[in-house]
Structure 1
Amino acid sequence: MAMLPKATFSHKSLWFLEGDGDRKADDENTTSGVLSAIQHRVSRLRADDLPVTYLLYPGLTHGAMFDASMNVVILHMSGESLLASY
C-alpha cells in the first residue's frame, strides 16, 4: 500500500474488527500478539492519513465476531450511524 498513490484510496476505507475474548489453550489458531500488531498497523496507516477504522469487541472470540462484524458492515453500507448503534 505504501507504494500506491494516496488518490488510489479516495472514497475507500480499511476496517479492522477484532475481538479480544479468551481462546481455548488448545486452539490451533491461537497466535500471540495479534491485537498489538493490528493496533500498530492501524497507527501507521493513520499516520499516513489513510482512512482506517479499528473496532475492538471486548470479550468476543472468532465465532461471536462474525455476527457483530456483519451487523457493523450492514449498518455502514446502509448509511446508518455506526456509533449511534452501540
Structure 2
Amino acid sequence: MIIVRARTFLRPILSPIGPNTIPPIGHTSRRCSACGFVTPGSRETQAKFACKNPDCGFVDNADTNAARNIDHAAGPAVSGLLSPRQ
C-alpha cells in the first residue's frame, strides 16, 4: 500500500525526467547504505539500523539509512545531481 502511494505521489513529479525514473524501493530498511549487505536483523529497532556484516558494522538512524538506499537506487536524475534540462 505504501509503495503504491509513493509511486502515485512521485509520478507527476518525475514525469518531466522520464517514465522509468521511480526507483525500486524493496529492502531499503534492511540494506546497509554503506556496504549493501541485506539482512532482516539489521534494523534493530524502529529507529536504529546496525549492519550485521562483520566487515562493516555501520550504525545509523534507520530512516536515514533507508533514505540513502532510495537515493542510491534512484540515481542522479532523482537525487538532484542531474537536472531534467541537461
Q: Give TM-score scaled by structure 1 length.
A: 0.29
Q: Give TM-score scaled by structure 2 length.
A: 0.29
